[in-house]
Amino acid sequence: MSTVATEGSTRGPAEIVLVRHGESLGNVADRAAIAAKAHRLDLPANDEMIDLSEEGQRQADALGRHLGRLPAEERPTVVISSPYQRARSTAERALAGLDLEVLLDERLRERELGIFDGVTWYGIKADHPEESDRRDRVGKFYYRPPGGESWADVVLRIRSLLVELQARYPGERVWLFSHEAVILAFRYVLEGLEVSRVLALQKEEPIANCSMTRYADRDGALELQARDDVSAIEDESAVTREPSHAEEGDQ
């Protein structure tokens, strides 16, 4: 059950749809690094500037065609994206056929990994064993890498964003383009999940690129209607997910 009340359709969005960005060059590099047990990803850009792969572009375009086929009463009325290039590009390509502005909100950005940006779990274990030990002591949800954010930090910005969405967009169909960790943070807040459950979901049910997780107002609360829905893209592009053993990040 949702923990965020909306008091019927008079308060808060009528619908929130969470879209993970299409496959990125970082996703491709991450899979290659994990396969090679490399310590770092081979990437030329910082996390903010990582763009879509060719497959990710196809996924975003397929989502756009899906949106174009929806009846007017089911299309988004408000679109907000993470400012990170892979999410912004996904939103812009998907919305190319609709007369909607893509708004940007930094609270939808990926979880910041600080000094571990671009470092694989193999690299952390080998080169920073003291941080690996500290993470084990503190616990994954509250562990904050040097210069980065904990999962709890991401949850705090999502709580802030939800309050603003409720106040600014009553009755609207709000689509948010973001990242895996952020979508899981939404699930944690909206569904009242236990910490252990939301962390298990990252490994057990990795979120597909360009998938949709949908919540709708039901009797004053936002309730989950669909999660990790890839029906919009699966007939036109590959469905891609992170390796289930990946420990950190969503490049």
Residue 248 in domain: no
Residue 214 in domain: yes
Domain count across the chain: 1
C-alpha to C-alpha distance for 59 and 212, rounded to whole angstroms:
12
Q: What is the DSSP string of 182-241?
A: HHHHHHHHHHT--HHHHHHHHHHSPPPTT-EEEEEEETTEEEEEEEEE-TTTTTTS----
pLDDT digits (tens, 9 = 90+) for 76-106: 999 999 999 999 999 999 999 899 999 999 9
Question: Percentage of residues in the chain with pLDDT exceeding 70?
Answer: 92
Indicate the SS3 state at residue 36: helix
pLDDT at 202: 87
C-alpha to C-alpha distance for 166 and 77, rounded to whole angstroms:
14
Residue 26, token pair as written in the block: 């970082």
pLDDT at 45: 78
Its pTM stands at: 0.92
Residue 238 in domain: no
pLDDT at 5: 44
Q: Is the pLDDT of residue 243 over 50?
A: yes
Q: Is the pLDDT of residue 250 over 50?
A: no
pLDDT digits (tens, 9 = 90+) for 19-77: 999 999 999 999 999 999 999 999 887 899 999 999 999 999 999 999 999 999 999 99
Residue 245 in domain: no
The CATH number given to whatever domain includes residue 127 is 3.40.50.1240
Residue 239 in domain: no
Mean pLDDT for the chain overall: 91
How would residue 244 be classed by pLDDT, with cut points 50, 70 and 90? low
Q: Is the pLDDT of residue 123 over 50?
A: yes
C-alpha to C-alpha distance for 192 and 237, rounded to whole angstroms:
33
Name the least confident of 22-26, 139-143, 244-248: 244-248
Residue 251 in domain: no
How would residue 2 be classed by pLDDT, with cut points 50, 70 and 90? very low
Q: Which domain holds residue 206?
A: 8-229
Give CA separation, 194 vs 55, 107, 198, in Å.
Answer: 34, 22, 6
C-alpha to C-alpha distance for 137 and 202, rounded to whole angstroms:
20
Q: Is the pLDDT of residue 8 over 80?
A: no
Q: Over range 160-168, report the average pLDDT.
A: 96
Asked whether the beta carbons of 17 and 227 are under 8 A apart, the reply is no
Residue 246 in domain: no
Q: Over range 158-176, report the average pLDDT.
A: 97
